[in-house]
Chains A and B, each alone.
Chain A
């Protein structure tokens, strides 16, 4: 240090430079952050992630899959293979699990990795009929309207700001989906689209929008939204989730149509 520091100041600077983290506290914090990142990045619902045994996460399948996914973005097929359990869980929570009220999710992450723990939910879904949404397509258009040019530029300037606010809005929407109340998820997504048209969590918002629209039974809107999602985010980790939301809906329709 080139400037003269008094012994008092030098002692305190030394204390800061040599400070180290409490191992247990750092480990706990790290696990919580990791678990939340898997929610943010993979679209797991808070309901489900809250059910995860947070204290045992690092060795678990979830975190392994997650880290593998993050580290291997270059090789998509490997990512998807690694992600299979996580995506399955995401799909479950988004499309079927919450609706059939499977609330007590597997107590161990290792159990979560086994798709067969949840018979029929993702492979051969038998969900309850979706209640018809009391929302007209026009209002849905309005809800998911494209941001205006003015808000886009404001949003771009603001894009690194307020991530916490973005996250909260999307969490709100996710929770609605998890409670099987997709209607109430639209408002927070709409607010997010208006306030953060090009926000950091845009990709998550769009994926959630598809899931919400599918859950509301608005198949044309969900399909159109999914298509624009794929165009915009061709390599998204949410691709399987989005596809499954649309596919599950189509299957439901096919089933209900085939009934006499």
Chain B
């Protein structure tokens, strides 16, 4: 095998079938991307990219481990890279020709309630690294050791990001709720 992309499988149980995984986890992946700050038509691009990566690495997934932290790792990295690329494209004159019609559908993925709208705004007050830990641990309720593994960061780093994220989210929540009350 010459391919340098080949991954040595360390599988102890059968990985799930891709089609089943796509069916059951699609909603989770799309929603989590939204929580991480990907929105609008980008959701479609990034969801596509996530599943492309998942497909390619599925054989290496150890099915004795929980699926969601593994998936979260892809969701996080691809969302991060996508943001970096989008920023790069905005800053450079290098343009990739693509004009897709802007449908609002992707951003209306979630059933909106008033609280959810505020909550998404509060999430926007976090920086992307803090946000990832917050989403994984606080919203997806993944245990910290799994968060650490999915994000590839040290436990101390994860805890300090979580602390900052909670503080920022807290103050944003109070500010937004107060504003809402006196509107």
A259 in contact (CB, < 8 A): no
B70 in contact (CB, < 8 A): no
Chain A hits for B19, CB < 8 A: 67-68, 70-71
Contact of B4 among A34, A156, A161, A164 (CB under 8 A): A156
Chain B hits for A17, CB < 8 A: 139, 141
A167 to nearest B CB, angstroms? 7
> Chain B, 18-33, contact with A by CB distance < 8 Å: what is the 0/1 string?
1110100011001100
A46 to nearest B CB, angstroms? 11
| Contact B173–A8 (Cβ < 8 Å) | yes
Chain A hits for B45, CB < 8 A: 164
| Contact B113–A15 (Cβ < 8 Å) | yes
Chain B hits for A142, CB < 8 A: none
B144 to nearest A CB, angstroms? 11
| Contact A164–B82 (Cβ < 8 Å) | yes
Contact of A163 among B5, B43, B81, B174 (CB under 8 A): B81
A20 to nearest B CB, angstroms? 6
B35 in contact (CB, < 8 A): yes
Interface centre among B48, B59, B105, B122 (most CB of A within 10 A): B48
Chain A hits for B26, CB < 8 A: 26, 30, 33
| Contact A9–B173 (Cβ < 8 Å) | yes
How far is B78's CA from A36's CA once the two chains are assembled, in angstroms?
17
Main secondary structure of the interface of B (DSSP, over half): helix
How far is B23's CA from A71's CA once the two chains are assembled, in angstroms?
12
| Contact A232–B2 (Cβ < 8 Å) | yes
Chain B interface residues toward A at CB < 8 A: 2-5, 17-20, 22, 26-27, 30-31, 35, 43-49, 51-53, 55-56, 59, 77-78, 81-82, 84-85, 96-98, 105-106, 108-111, 113, 115-116, 118-120, 122-123, 138-139, 141, 166, 169-170, 173-174, 176-177
| Contact B47–A20 (Cβ < 8 Å) | no
| Contact B116–A15 (Cβ < 8 Å) | yes
Q: Give the number of A-B contacts (CB < 8 Å).
A: 158
Known: A25-B108, A29-B30, A160-B53. A6 touches B170 (CB 8 A): yes
| Contact A20–B4 (Cβ < 8 Å) | no
B55 to nearest A CB, angstroms? 6
How far is B81's CA from A202's CA once the two chains are assembled, in angstroms?
18
| Contact A200–B78 (Cβ < 8 Å) | no
How far is B105's CA from A226's CA once the two chains are assembled, in angstroms?
41
Task: Name the 3 nearest CB pairs between A and B, nearest first.
Answer: A67-B19, A15-B115, A71-B17
| Contact B174–A20 (Cβ < 8 Å) | no
How far is B97's CA from A165's CA once the two chains are assembled, in angstroms?
11
Chain A hits for B166, CB < 8 A: 3, 5, 9
Contact of B110 among A22, A67, A202 (CB under 8 A): A22
- Closest chain B residue to A67, Cβ basis: B19
How far is B123's CA from A67's CA once the two chains are assembled, in angstroms?
35
| Contact B111–A5 (Cβ < 8 Å) | no
Chain A hits for B97, CB < 8 A: 172
